[in-house]
A and B are shown apart, each in its own frame.
Chain A
Amino acid sequence: MLNILSVFKEYVVLALCIVGSLGLMSMKDTRQMREIRSAAVVVMGSVQDAVGVVPNVFTLQREVRVLRERNVTLANEVNLLREAKLENIRLRRLLGLRDKAAFSFVAANVVGKNQQPMRTTITLDVGDRDGVKPSMAVVTDEGLVGKVVATARGYAVAQILFHKDVRVSAQIERERVDGIVYWDGDERVLRMKNVPRSANIKIGDVVVTSPYSSIFPSGIRIGVVSNVIIEQGALFHSIEVTPSADMTRLEEVFVITHVPDSSRIVLEQRVK
């Protein structure tokens, strides 16, 4: 028996590895598994954090230039927005609308980017101790980046929008029609589906997160419509959305510490 095993040891090892891999794939997300993953994220996050300064050197100069330009633009916008805010407060009071919940943000540095094919995740230097939990939205000042999928004490892993498994319930801001934003592997473009043909969608329309989303808070900018493809006989638009946040240059992000209302999710699941 041992003789046979030693003759075919390569195949035996391969078979064990395949069985091991398939076993891991079929495993549920247990507490033990989360702890092991958490430990791996902490180890890797700490090391990535320590060497994280290296990529920054390449981008620092460009970033300073971009920030200076943006500073001028934003200073101008602040004045305009101040006026708009006062007007908004007055109108809200008049209409008796309930103020939208104010979200709190946790600033985070991207300390690692795990670029596996179609499965890019980023490692953030914030975690459980900062109040970050799985399913929280990750944004930049430009818009939605993705969502947190795993956390450890001081680190979190987030899937970005360019990830096969990310689906966002979205809304065309101008038309108030809803759809689902997802990524199908196209370079730098997201897709929006389930938007009826009757909706008047134009290139340049802003796409934001929908109030129907049970994960993301509503109103977060996702991107702008960059193409509307009309297919013969189709009931829905095929829409291309260019994300507002630049996924290739993620260095500082914010985690919105908004936890979805669990009673809403339970209720929605109950009636499904």
Chain B
Amino acid sequence: MRRNFSAVVLSLLLVLLQTTIVNVLTLGYAVPDLLILWIVVLAIRRGQVVATLYGFGIGVFLDLISGSDGMLGLSALSKSLAGFVAGYFYHENRIELTLSSVRLVVVVGSAALLHNAVYFLIFLRGSDVIWWRAVSEHGVPSTLYTTVLSVIPMAISRRKYQ
């Protein structure tokens, strides 16, 4: 109960950071996604079910504060899928090892790329914008930025566990 309460509070705090401080860190199209990073950490620490549910909840909240653009549920879908895929890297006895190794960076990169690919696939339906172009120009830079940022939790975990 207490664990979930802390995770919900941290999720809300990260949504707040994502919509305020992260704007200062934006480089061109590349916007780091702290929430994907958090969902992956949850997936590695607590497994697929928790990560999928948190991905869904965080996504719904993000969609709600984005205004009415007919896309309520889009972030929920892409983030819950990212959480589900990241959950495949959950092993009860290897949590510390995964969090403190390059594996974390790989999982974050894969989850972020999947998230952006699904996101654009649905978001751009019926529009003039070409999917692969949107993914390469917007999705890939953001994925790389988020992946690079995952080195921070990896370094913290390495220091903590080794």
- Chain A interface residues toward B at CB < 8 A: 9-10, 13-14, 17-18, 20-25, 27, 29, 33-34, 36-37, 40-41, 44, 47-48, 51-52, 54-55, 58, 112-119, 121, 123, 134, 149-150, 157-159, 163-165, 182, 184-185, 187, 248
For the complex, what is the distance from the CA of A24 to the CA of B71, rounded to whole Å?
Answer: 8
Q: How many A-B pairs with Cβ below 8 Å?
A: 165
Quick check: A24 and B23 within 8 Å, CB to CB? Answer: no
Give the residues in chain B near A27, CB-CB below 8 Å.
72-73
B67 CB, nearest partner CB in chain A, Å: 4
Quick check: B73 and A20 within 8 Å, CB to CB? Answer: yes
New A-B pairs, 16, CB < 8 Å, besides A44-B19, A117-B119, A123-B65: A17-B77, A18-B77, A18-B81, A24-B60, A36-B64, A37-B65, A40-B64, A44-B16, A55-B24, A116-B62, A117-B116, A117-B138, A118-B129, A121-B67, A149-B67, A164-B123
Closest Cβ neighbor of A52 among chain B residues: B20
For the complex, what is the distance from the CA of A21 to the CA of B109, rounded to whole Å?
Answer: 23
Closest Cβ neighbor of A111 among chain B residues: B20
Quick check: B21 and A25 within 8 Å, CB to CB? Answer: no
Closest Cβ neighbor of B116 among chain A residues: A117
Quick check: B16 and A48 within 8 Å, CB to CB? Answer: yes
For the complex, what is the distance from the CA of A34 to the CA of B71, rounded to whole Å?
Answer: 13
A110 CB, nearest partner CB in chain B, Å: 10
Partner of B123, one of A13, A112, A118: A118
Quick check: A10 and B71 within 8 Å, CB to CB? Answer: no
Residue-wise, chain B 64-83 has the 8 Å CB interface mask toward A (1 for contact) of 11111111111111001100
Give the residues in chain A near B75, CB-CB below 8 Å.
116
For the complex, what is the distance from the CA of A24 to the CA of B59, rounded to whole Å?
Answer: 11
A159-B69 CB under 8 A given contacts A55-B20, A117-B142, A164-B123 = yes
For the complex, what is the distance from the CA of A22 to the CA of B56, rounded to whole Å?
Answer: 12
Q: Which of B46-54, B93-101, B147-155 contacts A (4 or more CB under 8 A)?
A: B46-54
B14 within 8 A of A: no
B141 CB, nearest partner CB in chain A, Å: 10
Closest Cβ neighbor of B142 among chain A residues: A117
Which of A14, A41, A121 has the most C-beta atoms of chain B within 10 angstroms of its own C-beta? A14
For the complex, what is the distance from the CA of A165 to the CA of B71, rounded to whole Å?
Answer: 11
Partner of A17, one of B18, B24, B80: B80
B133 CB, nearest partner CB in chain A, Å: 7
SS class, residues of chain B in contact with chain A: helix
Give the residues in chain A near B128, CB-CB below 8 Å.
182, 184
4 closest A-B pairs by beta carbon, nearest first, are A24-B73, A21-B77, A157-B67, A149-B67
Quick check: B84 and A14 within 8 Å, CB to CB? Answer: yes
A48 CB, nearest partner CB in chain B, Å: 6
B88 CB, nearest partner CB in chain A, Å: 9
A149-B68 CB under 8 A given contacts A10-B49, A20-B76 = yes
Give the residues in chain A near B29, CB-CB below 8 Å.
187
Partner of B80, one of A21, A33, A36, A54: A21
For the complex, what is the distance from the CA of A20 to the CA of B75, rounded to whole Å?
Answer: 12
Quick check: B76 and A21 within 8 Å, CB to CB? Answer: yes
Give the residues in chain A near B134, CB-CB below 8 Å.
117-118, 185
Give the residues in chain A near B55, CB-CB below 8 Å.
17
Q: Give chain B interface residues in 1-43, CB to chain A under 8 Å.
A: 15-16, 18-24, 26, 28-29, 31
A41-B65 CB under 8 A given contacts A21-B80, A185-B134 = yes
Give the residues in chain B near A23, CB-CB below 8 Å.
73
B42 CB, nearest partner CB in chain A, Å: 13
**28 intermolecular pairs with C-beta atoms under 8 Å apart:** A10-B49, A13-B49, A17-B80, A17-B84, A18-B80, A20-B73, A22-B73, A24-B63, A33-B72, A51-B20, A55-B24, A112-B20, A114-B62, A115-B19, A115-B22, A115-B23, A116-B62, A116-B66, A119-B123, A121-B69, A149-B67, A149-B68, A149-B69, A150-B67, A158-B67, A184-B129, A185-B129, A187-B29
